[in-house]
Amino acid sequence: MSNFNIDDQTFRDLNIFTGTTGSNTIFNLFKGTRTVGGRERLREMMQSPSSDLQEITLRKDSIKYFYDHHINLDIKNEELDLVEYYLKFDKSKFRGNIIDSVVEYIARNSSNDYYIIKTGLKYLIKLTKYISIFIKKNSLCEAPEYLTLLFKQIEQIIEAGSLKHALLIDENKLKFLQVIKLDRAFRNKERDSINTLLTLIYEFDVFENVSLVASLKGFSFAKYTEDENLKVCLTGLFHPNLLDPVKNDVHFDKNNNIVFLTGSNMSGKSSLLKSIGLVIYLSHLGFPVPAHYMETNIFNGLITTINLPDDINQGLSHYYTEVKRVKEVSQALLERNKMFVIFDELFRGTNVKDAFDASFLIISELSRITNSAFFISTHIIELADKLKKFNNISFRYLQTTFEKDRPIFTYQLTDGVSKEYLGMFIVLNEGIVEIIRKAYDRFQ
């Protein structure tokens, strides 16, 4: 697929392949494929989002076809595994001479070799019969362009080789001479074709599983606009790893291409940023997204700064690591237009004054770039007053209410700037002062 700019830091920030608990990754969300090969194909897809509208749409339409038609594939991982094992089996193929083949058969039949060959052939024939029926059935349903292309590729593989004749055989009653003939073909000149067939079937496996996740999780399929002007419209946005997520609406256009996000500690800013990053990422895979509705331009890349690690190996301070990351983002903006950029808590690694001044400087410069989108959170709410002179910055905050002097986090995105200060409340609520005083009383 056409190159979409995304780096390892962004993959980590969004927990695409790595998570804090080892199980809450986005890859794990989708990895319930029927086959190991399908899972490997899924990983390949998820490592390569695209900025090509046609390629994205072809995949999206294929997944949506599986979704709309509630397709359930009748393929089994253990059978496909055995087919793959058989194709890679390092024992020599049966010879062309019948007498030599009989001698080999006697030798092999006393071991496990012949069983592997015969069973591999059995499951390959069974799989081919099923896929042939599947294609005939779905060819009548006006399958989308990319699926139709895959169907034709599979049919060509079957028609051009020994699989065409194998379809006429009862795979449960394979005879010795049939095993000899088919084994010579499938593990010799037709091996590459058979492997291609399996790869295409793994693609179906991915489509089925992704469509199932969309159904179970309430995902939708993005609508893509070719408008030259920036546009991202999201309603009912949520994060799929939250048990009972609050859904929010987010909008970007050329007149409002920067969202300046504030909110108290624990109000959900980081989760919201991950949610918006995730829908941008998934939509550029052609995958369904965790939102009720999404309409978006095609972006040329996504770059995030949410959980930036300290660079201990190089002895760099956290602040300098942040500065280096901002420079990387700036370089990406220099090389490509239409980028989607997310910053969580700009310059948290320095004192308040430097953080204020540096944040204002960077955001004011970014405000001049109207063909990219920026979602920026901060703990320095005083910045808002100074940024209000920029017409393309919209101010949103995650609301916190109070009941009986205790904060209630609504996780609801609201217009405006947060006025809540909860840092001291959290410190006092943990009883830290009392513990220190008891320590003083005990040992002084």
pLDDT along the chain (444 residues), means of 10: 87 89 82 94 97 97 97 93 89 54 53 87 96 92 93 96 94 92 92 96 97 97 94 97 94 95 86 97 98 98 88 66 93 94 90 91 95 93 93 93 80 89 73 83 77
Task: Quote the tokens at residue 113.
Answer: 């070799």
Handedness of CA 269, 274, 279, 280 (dihedral sign): positive
| pLDDT for the residue 349 | 81
Tally of residues, the chain: 444
Helix axes 145-160, 113-139, angle to 10 degrees: 140
Amino acid 254 reads K
pLDDT given at position 257: 96
Residue with tokens 């007053």: 385
Fold classification of 31-217 (topology level): MutS, DNA mismatch repair protein; Chain A, domain 3 (1.10.1420)
Per-residue pLDDT, 422: 66
Give the three-state DSSP class for 3.
strand
Pairing of strands 373-377, 339-343: parallel
CA 241 from chain centre, in angstroms, equals: 13
Q: Are 248 and 255 in contact (CB under 8 A)?
A: no
Containing 95, the helix (H) or strand (E) segment is: none
β-strand partners of 395: 260
Rounded-to-integer distance, Cα 52 and Cα 37, Å: 25
Asked, colleague to colleague, whether 31-217 and 228-443 share their fold, the answer is no
Q: 300 CB contacts (<8 Å, ≥6 apart)?
A: 4, 5, 51, 336, 337, 338, 339
How buried is residue 8: exposed, middle or buried, by Cβ count under 10 Å (0-12/13-18/19+)? Answer: exposed
Position 319 scores a pLDDT of 84
The pLDDT of residue 350 is 85
The Cα-based distances of 294 to 77, 219, 376 in angstroms read: 34, 10, 20
CATH number of 228-443: 3.40.50.300
d(CA 378, CA 297): 26
Residue 443 is predicted with a pLDDT of 78
Q: According to the model, what pLDDT value does residue 333 have?
A: 95
Cβ-proximal residues to 233 (8 Å cutoff; 6+ apart), any chain: 251, 252, 293, 294, 295, 296
Kindly state the helix (H) or strand (E) to which residue 233 belongs, with its residue range. Answer: strand 231-237
What is the residue extent of each domain of the chain? 31-217, 228-443
**Residue 229: partners with Cβ closer than 8 Å, 6 or more residues away:** 253, 254
Return the pLDDT at 20: 62
